[in-house]
Amino acid sequence: MSGLQDIGVRVEEGAGDEPTAQVLAIASEIEQHLKAFLKDGQSASIDLRSLPLAPGDYQALKALLGEGEVSARLDALGPSTIYETAIPGVWWLVHRNASDELMADLIEITDCPDILKTQIEDLRDGPERLHARIEQQAAITQ
Q: How many domains does the chain have?
A: 1
Report the interhelical angle of 22-40 vs 55-65 (nearest 10°).
40
3-class DSSP string for the chain: CCCHHHCCCCCCCCCCCCCCCHHHHHHHHHHHHHHHHHHHCCCEEEEHHHCCCCHHHHHHHHHHHCCCCCEEEEECCCEEEEEECCCCCEEEEEEECCCCCEEEEEEEECCCCHHHCCCHHHHHHHHHHHHHHHHHHHHHHC
Q: What is the mean pLDDT of the chain?
A: 88
For the residues 100-114, what does the mean pLDDT come to?
Answer: 95
pTM, full prediction = 0.78
Share of the chain above pLDDT 90, in %: 70
The verdict on residue 15 lying in a domain is no
Residue 110, pLDDT score: 97
The verdict on residue 14 lying in a domain is no
The verdict on residue 125 lying in a domain is no
The verdict on residue 121 lying in a domain is no
The verdict on residue 97 lying in a domain is yes
Q: Which domain holds residue 106?
A: 22-116
Condensed to tens digits (0 to 9), the pLDDT of residues 4-60 reads 566 554 444 445 567 678 899 999 999 999 999 999 999 999 999 999 888 889 999
Residue 16, pLDDT score: 52
The verdict on residue 9 lying in a domain is no
The verdict on residue 93 lying in a domain is yes
Residue 21, pLDDT score: 86
The verdict on residue 79 lying in a domain is yes
For the residues 115-128, what does the mean pLDDT come to?
Answer: 90
CATH code where residue 110 lies: 3.30.1370.140
